[in-house]
Chains A and B, each alone.
Chain A
């Protein structure tokens, strides 16, 4: 495995929020916390696969929350991750409609100092549902939008990654792809509610 550097909590938050060495930082999170958080999920009825999937969602949520400045250092990263993981697993249990008693028992296990992240995660849940719309975009549109809006590449740099003749073609494709995604979002019932609340 690639050697990952060790981070203090402060350095890790910096690396995640600034996006510098993001892969290294995520790998460090995996190495440091995956087993701990996974064992926690398994303790509450999750399988090994459940635990690893929950941890993946936890890392995505953690990274997103840190980038948005929503982690206010009121707890350690470890405690924060456990809080996120517990909420994700709780929602998963609810989805699976697995016995309220376990759910209640699980909800009662909040440790002192644990962060209540449930309100953040509700929003993320919906976003996660909507992110499935991207799968309907087609590979080329998905790639164009990811290069521009996630990788933050310029149109010129995108041209090197794509099989198009010039920047104008890339720009036009990007317009069309984003509008198409917007149409998919418009047709999604989950979005109607969200836009209503704004």
Chain B
């Protein structure tokens, strides 16, 4: 069987298959059995090629169908799932952060800490109606806290101002029980006399002294009172303490 005849048969096949099953080209094959079988194998080969082409095509459409199926029906669920997951993650993160924040706040909020952030030494020039030229004022301005307390103790007649300066001096010396006594004196005097001299100052510093001494059951109602009184001189200052800090202190105090 010559190569030339094989190629001629292939050409013949190519021409013939346009019209369906190709008729056997008898003039090329003659009675040559090898050529007849070659012709049969060529036809079968073309069938196989077409089968493979069709299979490839259907397989490609199947993939397209399956992709579309997962993209169309479940894709909505997928997007929802993704959004839902993202939302869950965000929510979880927020909760964790919030939880961590609350825990941190809970751990770090203490009467001592609150006292440190709230207490500032009283500026004597702010004292209403007092020029402050006497010795106790001078000792106070110089930060001679022990001297302030001693001078106040030795005064025969103690004014609200004397009690107040002694109370703040005691706070500076971390002697909160002493400070509480001085501030309480002011409030009692005012109550008895009907005056309100150093009343707001006494209340606020008394509350801080209670805080510092850990006496929350007295500190918190006082702070609440100041926070709810917009006319109070220390209302703004007391409002710097957040409700959550007060709540944490209440919880810690077992209230």
Contact = CB atoms under 8 A, between A and B. Distances in A.
A2 B64 CA distance: 8
A179 B6 contact: yes
Contacts of A59: 58, 61-62
B49 A181 contact: yes
B53 A146 contact: yes
A45 to B, nearest CB: 22
- Interface range on chain B (Cβ under 8 Å from partner): 35 or more
B48 to A, nearest CB: 5
A63 B54 contact: yes
B59 A56 contact: yes
A52 B65 CA distance: 11
A122 interface: no
A176 to B, nearest CB: 10
Given A1-B67, A56-B59, A185-B44, A131 B7 contact: no
A60 B68 contact: no
Interface stretch (B35-43, B168-176, B242-250): B35-43
Interface residues of A, number: 40
B62 A56 contact: yes
B64 A27 contact: yes
B215 to A, nearest CB: 73
Contacts of B55: 60, 131
A175 interface: yes
A195 B54 contact: no
A146 B53 CA distance: 6
29 contacts: A1-B69, A1-B71, A26-B57, A26-B58, A31-B65, A34-B65, A56-B58, A56-B62, A60-B51, A60-B54, A127-B48, A127-B51, A128-B51, A145-B49, A146-B49, A146-B52, A149-B17, A150-B50, A151-B53, A175-B6, A178-B10, A179-B6, A181-B45, A182-B41, A185-B45, A185-B48, A186-B37, A191-B44, A195-B41
